[in-house]
Amino acid sequence: MNTETRPKIQVMTGNEACALGAITAGCRFFAGYPITPSSEVAEILAEELPKIGGKFIQMEDEIASMGAVIGASLAGSKAMTATSGPGFSLKQENIGYASMAEIPCVILNVMRGGPSTGLPTLPAQGDVMQARWGTHGDHPIIVLTPSSVRETFDLTVRAFNLSEFYRVPVILLSDEIVSHTSEKVEIPEAGSIEVIERHKADPADMHYLPYRQTESDIPPMVSFGQGVRFHVTGLCHDETGFPTNNAVEIDRLLRRLNRKIERYQDQIMDNRTEHLEDADVAVFAYGSTARSARWAVRRAREQGLRAGFFHPLVLWPFPGEQVHRMATQVRSIIVPEMNLGQMAHEVEWAARGAAEVVKINRIDGEPIRPQDILKTIQEVAQHV
């Protein structure tokens, strides 16, 4: 796992790639509680973090795990946790706290079947809306979703970079298939990987305001223990960090929290596309389902069908304008996902009636097969 001596090409699972990506990004603190199918991330980091001066803590539950991550980040460490389904639900209150207090942290959620304890060992994509709206109130959040082992490594690094830069919780939304798939991965040279650090304020500034209104909307941070005393709360607060009931201050704070993601969304969003330039039918797919979709689109092209592929690596902020442009170019958009249509709803909203949205849904713990998507492409193409 040593980032200096590791082989350039390795065979690893998605969970192993996540742990390696976290260490590469500078993660030095992990707090969590074992839960299938994310437990391997905790197991690996429990062994590897102490070797490089980091800390691993197994907490008594997921609520405490998220609290420990918040505390470690405030003390200056890049921090993360990993969980799945029921544990993700328990973390929501503290994710909201991190959003309000602008505390960088990364949360891996390896999706499995639900509701409740559901299907612990089988895949699903039912936490898409929870990732965006799971905690209450209007809050900033960034959600990344890998479809392969290499993407898991890359997006874990990017999750830390985005979190540190924008001072927000970032959710890495994987699923059981991606996390437990073994693939040959070429790991980039350490010096070629961009690693971003948080914008730090001068700890000697005795007039430091932890939530100062800045031109960038992203206030610089000072870590606990550096000599500057400041207040952190989940209550609405002014620039000093102390609670306020002043309507002007409240409005300014909450609008800034959300604006710091909205104004930079073009820099945050990341989509991959294939064959959209002449497509009559497009497939919008993410996570492990994107693997099936890519195969189906390529086979459809071989059969002379004008199919295209839209693959978002960032689900939130949602690429609404990009989807709308696609909808004006095609007749139909097929959305396969292992839920009852969570992303299909967003695609339909973004399309604004410019294209028909066709759903392929599966919720029985089995993946959506490439042949199922190809068959739907063929059926839709007959009516184009």
pTM for the predicted model, two decimal places: 0.95
Q: At what angle do helices 14-25 and 149-166 cross, to 10 degrees?
A: 30
Side chain identity at residue 383, one-letter code: H
Distance between CA atoms of residues 66 and 83, nearest Å: 10
Q: What is the CATH number of domain 271-382?
A: 3.40.50.920
**Rounded average pLDDT over 347-356:** 97
List the structure tokens of 75. Answer: 């003390």
**Would the CATH topology of 9-192 be identical to that of 271-382?**
yes
C-beta of residue 182 within 8 angstroms of C-beta of residue 218: no
DSSP string of 54-79? -EEEE-SSHHHHHHHHHHHHHTT-EE
Contact 332, 282 (CB under 8 A): yes
What six digits make up the tokens of 215? Answer: 């031109």
Alpha-carbon distances, residue 291 vs 18, 139, 170 (angstroms): 19, 31, 23
- ∠ CA(285), CA(329), CA(320), 5° rounding? 50
Peptide bond into 312 cis (omega under 30): no
Give phi and psi for 238, each to the nearest 5: -95, -165
- Taking residues 179-198, what's their average pLDDT? 92
Distance of CA 78 to the CA centre of its chain: 16
CB-CB contact of 114 with 356 (8 Å): no
Whole-number Å distance between alpha carbons of 297 and 148: 17
Q: Across all residues in the chain, what is the average pLDDT?
A: 95
Residue 361: band (very low, low, confident or very high) from pLDDT cuts 50, 70, 90: very high
**Which of 75, 141, 137 has the alpha carbon at shortest distance from 106?**
141
How far apart CA 288 and CA 368 sit, in angstroms, is 9
1-31 tens-digit pLDDT = 555 556 688 999 999 999 999 999 999 999 9
Please tell me the predicted confidence (pLDDT) of residue 4: 55
Class of domain 9-192: alpha beta
21: left (phi > 0), else alpha (psi -120 to 50), else beta? Answer: alpha
pLDDT in tens, 70-91: 999 999 999 999 999 999 999 9
Dihedral of CA 294/190/269/77: which sign? positive
pLDDT for position 205: 83
Domain ranges for the chain: 9-192, 271-382
336 vs 325: CA distance, rounded Å: 20
Cα separation, 220 vs 86, in Å, equals 34
Among residues of the chain, what percentage have pLDDT more than 90? 92
In the structure encoding, which two tokens stand for residue 43, read together? Answer: 């197991």
Asked whether 21 and 157 are in contact (CB, 8 A), the reply is yes
Percentage, residues of the chain above pLDDT 70: 98
pLDDT in tens, 150-160: 999 999 999 99
